[in-house]
Amino acid sequence: MDKHARASTPATAAPRLAAWPGQAGSPQPGACRFCGASLRHTVVDLGMSPLCESYVSADRANAMEPFFPLHVWVCDVCFLVQIEEYVSREEIFEEYAYFSSYSDSWLDHCRRYVDQMIPQLQLKATSRVVEVASNDGYLLQYFVARGIPVLGIEPAANVAKVAVDKGVPTLVKFFGRATAREMASNGQRADLLLGNNVLAQVPDLNDFVGGLKILLGPGGTTTIEFPHLERLIAENQFDTIYHEHFSYFSLYAAERIFAAHGLALFDVEELPTHGGSLRIYARHAEETDRPLTPRLLDVRARELAAGVNTLSYYASFEEQVRETKRQLLDFLIGAKRHGKRIVGYGAPGKGNTLLNYCGIRTDFLDFTVDRSPHKQGKFLPGTRIPIHHPDRLRDAKPDYVLILPWNLREEIIDQLGYVREWGGRFVVPIPEPRVYA
Ligand SMILES: [Zn+2]
């Protein structure tokens, strides 16, 4: 569910009050969520930030908002990069009104995945495809259209209902060993078990991956997509860090975690989604008839050459992040001194990390716009920047449009070609602030 920051990124139905630190935290605060070692090494400290998906409705405009530390650690034993869990998954996800079907490019990605998997895994009318965090059926709908039986698992009841209404059977549950055992005992083991952008959002990683092992049928394949830590570090994607993303994976860490639960990664694809993701392929460790592919060996070797299993790899990230903040503020201050009008485009979770960390409010951005009707009329968490319908851009005729979902830069600049009619230009903040005519 990483709730892909896309051209439009819908919001929670209503803002929730979160638990305070310690109330919802892991049983051993400061311990690695995979191996249990003490967390002692900072990757980056982004200060205090509100929950990035807690959009503020107008009737709560005068209410306080809870802020939580956004402090990223790396474990010096397993090299899993992670933040502590300050807020329970129930608070974050049960009313999580993130509807995946709002981005055209994401839907294309999913359709291509289905077209690829059916022949590759020889899926047929007697197979079963199970998706964990199946959202509104954005992906499984394409398997249904091809006559392949599916089952979705989605904790947000309001989102699951949309899936069921479009013919995608969906179980309203959090996924872990207990759900997997129940499904396995009902004869619902999967030939293809997939999860897109959910692994990062799992507080109990061992329970989740242990559940995959239980639910995966004999000879079955698991595919899991997540943003690749290597790209986050190399391309300075610090805004993809937020409270809803508990873990940030290298292939190195993922292989160790899956292996600990009897699953072997045998293949990996590198994808352009979300600034650079991995799609890992796992099978039961004992089914050795599927050997490791050359491309898995390549990514593994590349990560080791870069030093993902050394602390020095993580040491310079924080200063790089601070420098990006200084550059972005330099640009915005300069533009405002010249009387320029700046607005935002998009209201993705990543935008909220960026704006809160940099301290950018309506002093710089008059407003932002988003295609999702679930966000329009609300305010960004923390910065309280108003979110309007995209039509507002034409009326405002801003000099600069700051594109918050930078991973969709080309798609958005294409859609907003009309901004050039009045001489408007586009600004993309990551990997470093850049202006596009
Ligand atoms: Zn660890």
For 200-255, write each residue's pLDDT tens digit.
989 899 999 999 999 999 999 999 999 999 999 999 999 999 888 999 999 999 99
Is 371's pLDDT higher than 60? Answer: yes
Distance 253 CA to ligand 1 centre (A): 9
State in Å: Cα 84 to ligand 1 middle: 13
Average pLDDT over residues 82-90: 79
Q: Per-residue pLDDT averaged across 53-81, rounded?
A: 93
pTM as predicted: 0.88
- pLDDT exceeds 90 at position 92: no
The CA 33 to ligand 1 mean position distance, Å, reads 7
Q: What is the mean pLDDT of residues 138-163?
A: 95
- Mean pLDDT rounded to a whole number for the chain: 90
Distance 382 CA to ligand 1 centre (A): 31
Q: Which two tokens stand for residue 255?
A: 């292989």
The residues placing their C-beta within 5 Å of ligand 1, an ion, are 32, 34-35, 37, 75, 77-78, 80
Q: State the distance between the two ends of the chain, measured CA to CA, in whole angstroms.
A: 33
Ligand 1 centroid to Cα of residue 208, in Å, is: 16
What's the pLDDT score for residue 17?
Answer: 33
Residue 171, classed as helix, strand or coil, is: strand
Report which residue type is found at 57.
S
Structure confidence at residue 407 (pLDDT): 87
Residues 319-325: what's their mean pLDDT? 95
Sign of CA dihedral 89, 93, 94, 95: positive
Would the pLDDT of 27 be above 50? Answer: no
Residue 163: which of 136, 142, 193, 181 has the closest Cα? 136
Distance 74 CA to ligand 1 centre (A): 8
Centroid of ligand 1 to alpha carbon of 327 (angstroms): 34
Beta strands in 172-271 (DSSP E): 190-196, 216-227, 247-248, 263-271
155 upstream amide cis, omega within 30 of 0: no
Mean pLDDT, rounded, for 74-89: 89
Angle between helices 177-185 and 205-215 (to 10 degrees): 10
Determine how β-strand 67-74 pairs with β-strand 247-248. unpaired
If pLDDT is split at 50, 70 and 90, which confidence band does 408 have? Answer: confident
Q: How far is the CA of 81 from the centre of ligand 1 (A)?
A: 8
The set of residues, in sequence order, having a beta carbon less than 8 Å from that of 186 and lying 6+ positions away, is none
- Report the pLDDT averaged over residues 157-162: 91
Q: 311 C-alpha to center of ligand 1: Å?
A: 13
The mean pLDDT of 376-397, rounded to a whole number, is: 96
195-227: b (≥16 Cβ within 10 Å) or e: bbbbbbbbbbbbbbbbbbbbbbbeebbbbbbbb
CA 352–ligand 1 middle distance (angstroms):
28
Give the number of other CB atoms < 10 A from CB of residue 170. Answer: 25
